[in-house]
Amino acid sequence: MSGTGTDTKQTTSVKPKVEKPRLYKVILVNDDYTPREFVIMVLQAVFRTSEDEGYQIMVTAHQKGACVVAVYSRDIAETKAKEAVDLAKQADFPLMFTTEPEE
């Protein structure tokens, strides 16, 4: 018997449609001017760290130049980084937080 003309072999690969949303790191950047106590206060207020956690994160950034504070969805990470930078601006400190995607 001859074929029906319905060759169903798939020639293109299909990418899974559902992907996990990427997570973003919020990074605290060291500077020479912002007081240590102010950095800890911002970490407690915006990122809900304890005083001890805030101190550890601040000292790590102070010694190494930067420190990951926490990991969130992109939206939350960017909002919190902006809130923290805005608090510093209001107080006239150059404190900087950045965000970047996790690998």
Q: Work out whether 58 is an interface residue with ligand TYC (CB under 6 A).
A: yes
Q: Work out whether 39 is an interface residue with ligand TYC (CB under 6 A).
A: yes
Which residues neighbour 59 within 8 Å (Cβ) at sequence distance 6 or greater?
A: none
Q: Work out whether 53 is an interface residue with ligand TYC (CB under 6 A).
A: no
Q: Work out whether 26 is an interface residue with ligand TYC (CB under 6 A).
A: no
Which residues neighbour 93 within 8 Å (Cβ) at sequence distance 6 or greater?
A: 31, 33, 34, 35, 38
Q: Which residues bind ligand TYC (CB under 6 A)?
A: 28-32, 34-36, 39, 58, 61-62, 95
